[in-house]
Amino acid sequence: MSDTPNKIEPIQEKLDDKIKKLNSSRVYKKVTPKGDLSWYIKWASSFTLIIAMMFTAVDMFPINMWIANIGFIGWLVVGMLWHDRSLIVLNSVSLAIYSLGILNHYYGY
């Protein structure tokens, strides 16, 4: 009973070693940077967006949209620093929508 065919073997080869073996320029080990400029911007922007959501919950309009736009701009910058298209698209569209909402509030467009 000790020699079961479904025995799980420990992993012998690490991911870094497998990537080196592939010798490909298309394989990247994705690691979120820590302590650089993008790290500070992403956390400040996340905090800003949370504040904007709290302002939305208590109906503090349009200041919630102004604050959210600051967060969107921050995440847009992070997306550009990381070359992350999904962050760039999401935050560009969010910034445009909220900016149109602000213009509509003040000018009735």
Give the pLDDT confidence of 56-98 residue by residue, as tens digits: 999 999 999 999 999 999 999 999 999 999 999 999 999 999 9
Please give the Cα distance from 75 to 32 (Å, whole number).
14
Q: Are 71 and 52 in contact (CB under 8 A)?
A: yes
Q: What is the pLDDT of residue 24?
A: 66
* Residue 53 reports pLDDT greater than 70: yes
> Higher confidence at residue 23 or residue 80?
80
Q: Are 69 and 98 in contact (CB under 8 A)?
A: yes
pTM for the structure as a whole: 0.70
Q: Are 95 and 69 in contact (CB under 8 A)?
A: yes
Residue 73, class by beta-carbon neighbours within 10 Å (0-12 exposed, 13-18 middle, 19+ buried)? middle
* Residue 15 reports pLDDT greater than 80: no
Helix (H) and strand (E) counts in the chain: 4, 0
Q: Are 65 and 98 in contact (CB under 8 A)?
A: yes
Place 26 in a pLDDT band, splitting at 50, 70 and 90. low
